[in-house]
Amino acid sequence: MGMNKDEIKQSIENGKAVLGIEFGSTRIKAVLIGTDNTPIASGSHDWENRLENNIWTYSLEDIWNGLQDCYANMIADVKANYDVAVTSFKAIGFSAMMHGYMAFDKDGELLVPFRTWRNTITEEASEALTKEFAYHIPQRWSIAHLYQAILNKEEHVSKIDFQTTLAGYIHWKLSGKKVLGVGEASGMFPIDIQTKKFNTTMIQKFDKLNEAKGFGWKLGDILPEVLVAGEDAGVLTAEGAKLLDVSGQLQAGIPLCPPEGDAGTGMAATNSVAVRTGNVSAGTSVFAMIVLEKDLQKVYPEIDLVTTPSGNLVGMVHCNNCTSDLNAWVSLFKEFAESFGVEVDMTKLFATLYNKALEGDADCGGLLAYNYFSGEHITNMEEGRPMFVRTPESKFNLANFMRVHLFTSLGALKTGLDILLKEENVKVDQIFGHGGLFKTKGVGQKILAAAIDAPVSVMETAGEGGAWGIALLASYMVNKDADESLDDYLTNKVFAGQAGTKMEADAKDVAGFDKFIARYTKGLPIERAAIDSLKA
């Protein structure tokens, strides 16, 4: 039972509500939550990164205008629904897309335009550091950006006084504190799981690499301090309050939680921060995150290692392609129906075609498809060629056709996850699914359960996303009991009694998916030939 309107009004007036703001790639979103942790107001601001001098970036002006507009929209939503003014909150949290590069000089001036995670300009650094650390350093990580700037002999490098991420930058400007939540920090530089801080052995290795260059800094001096969920990360300063609320009504002194990355807030919003749980986000792209019980035995280029907001190790598999090709086929069927003068309801069309897939053969009747709109690093394809292939003997019908396109939307993901599940014997008790693939009830969920051979749950609230996730982390900091873990807080005080639907893996489907993935792996040279033979 949620709070009633008067209770909500009162909690806002008394400064008991908690605010979370997340900077996503295309939208900045604010979510205000009540004392029962459910959303009571929201606001957003759409924005786009731009390609300048071959660098994907957002300007500082984009960042601050976006934040202020998003906050003002949330305040307008409060005014429209509850007719109260907002002067304070019990806590605030900021999160943003992870990784990327923001470097500042001693006067706090940005040295080069913000380089976002989307830039793939750090291959040389990524390979060199992976080798040096014997730890996978993806191209988008902040340390790869820094080392690439060093390798490129960029003149700004000697002037660096502080390096952080977008979430860390916002937090620093609003609180004066140079800190990061451990989940966000794990996308800058490797974390030592024992200390929950940056790995000092690797910091020393990095400094040794650059000893002869004569920089006036050592890596440990320019990185933010790492905090875990629930720790105090400072308060909103008077300058910070003005930066956030241009109307000037917001008071200073509000506690801020450690700034986090969108991976960590996604884990909080899907209640998957405990070991042996995980979440899969499946839309245009797809990624899976599984909370591990121990370190992996070796380094895999397919697996990124990050942490939960509490500092537990997480294995992450990220793929560029998921539902784009599937959606393109559904649009073709829509066009077909409309040619007969049939009016098509897209929700119904998706539901009909997705459910049809459940009637197909377990292994898709020998059909094969690749959903690569863009390159896919898991299978070493630098470009994409969406493809559908069959033999004359394949069982070609609508059910198998839809099934193979659903299967292949998780094909690259399964390739990466099999390393964790089969080579490293990682145990998973439950996975939470969220994103567009799970909109048609029971279909994407059943297919994901088949791919990972583990139960998959889908929750009603999964659509609230990262801004709600960071609001929950802020709420945890100010509302937790003395020794209450984040995992317990989420389970008992946020998700208790939530109606999620859980689906076990069906043994026939699991065997069918394994058969399909063997065909998928064997057929990769066909995709390679298409890339080499069909040039855009």
CATH number of the domain where residue 523 is located: 3.30.420.40
CA dist 480 and 459 (Å) reads 23
CA dist 186 and 181 (Å) reads 9
Tokens of 58: 């957002």
User: What does the pLDDT read at residue 43?
Assistant: 95
Residue 449 lies in a domain: yes
Residue 335 lies in a domain: yes
User: What does the pLDDT read at residue 536?
Assistant: 64
User: What does the pLDDT read at residue 413?
Assistant: 96
Residue 401 lies in a domain: yes
Which segments of 340-404 are extended strands (E)?
368-370, 374-376, 381-383, 387-389
Sequential DSSP letters for 236-270: --HHHHHHH-TTS-PPS--BBPPPEEHHHHHHHHT
Residue 516 lies in a domain: yes
User: What does the pLDDT read at residue 49?
Assistant: 85
User: What does the pLDDT read at residue 117?
Assistant: 77
Residue 264 lies in a domain: no
Count structural domains, the chain. Answer: 1
CA dist 93 and 72 (Å) reads 16
Can you give the pTM of this predicted structure? 0.87
Which regions of the chain are under pLDDT 70? 1, 461-464, 499, 536
Residue 447 lies in a domain: yes
Residue 399 lies in a domain: yes
Residue closest to 348 by CA, chosen among 358, 340, 359, 337: 337
Residue closest to 185 by CA, chosen among 232, 236, 119, 141: 141
Which segments of 255-321 are extended strands (E)?
260-261, 277-282, 286-291, 304-307, 313-319
Q: At what angle do helices 398-409 and 507-522 cross, to 10 degrees?
A: 80
Query: Alpha carbon 30 to chain centroid distance?
Result: 17
Contact 250, 174 (CB under 8 A): no
Residue 247 lies in a domain: no
Range of the domain at 339: 272-458+506-536
User: What does the pLDDT read at residue 435?
Assistant: 82
User: What does the pLDDT read at residue 284?
Assistant: 84
